[in-house]
Amino acid sequence: MPVTTDSLESFLLKLRTQSFPHESFLGFLHVLVGGGLVSPEGHRLVSGISWRDLALLLKKVRWDPSMVRQLGVDPTKLAPRDRERFWYQAICQAGLDSPMAKKSAQRLKGWLDRFGYSVSV
């Protein structure tokens, strides 16, 4: 199945309403940018997305900007009015290739498994 931003957007909107696991936002970004995600129905939601596209999606679904604190980023130091730029700057500073990101992604994988999603990190 081809990857579409509509299906990924739907996933983000659905995930936003769940109680997101504490301290797993770094792993979440790690999975979206460098891993893969398959829905319970077998649709590939993402197999790596560019930082710019991810920033645009986070803006579009109105992701909670306070989540950047989990990345060790102070939201007041990011672009206050331009949300796409805000998210891009946060992603740039997150350290998505760090061992901590991989560990966080493993925790997130366990949480998403409960909902039937298949995650590769």
| Angstrom distances, CA of residue 55 to CA of 40, 112, 116 | 25, 21, 25
Share of residues in the chain with pLDDT > 70 (%): 94
Convert the pLDDT of each residue in 33-44 to its tens digit: 998 999 898 989
How many structural domains compose the chain?
A: 1
Helices (H), strands (E): how many in the chain?
Answer: 5, 3
CA angle 40, 11, 105 (to 5 degrees): 80
Convert the pLDDT of each residue in 80-102 to its tens digit: 899 999 999 999 999 999 999 99
Confidence (pTM): 0.88
Q: Which domain holds residue 35?
A: 5-120
What's the rounded Cα separation, in Å, for the pair 29 and 51? 9
Residue of 56, 70, 46 lying closest to 118 (CA atoms):
46
The residue assigned the tokens 């500073």 is: 93
Q: Which two tokens stand for residue 44?
A: 């590939």
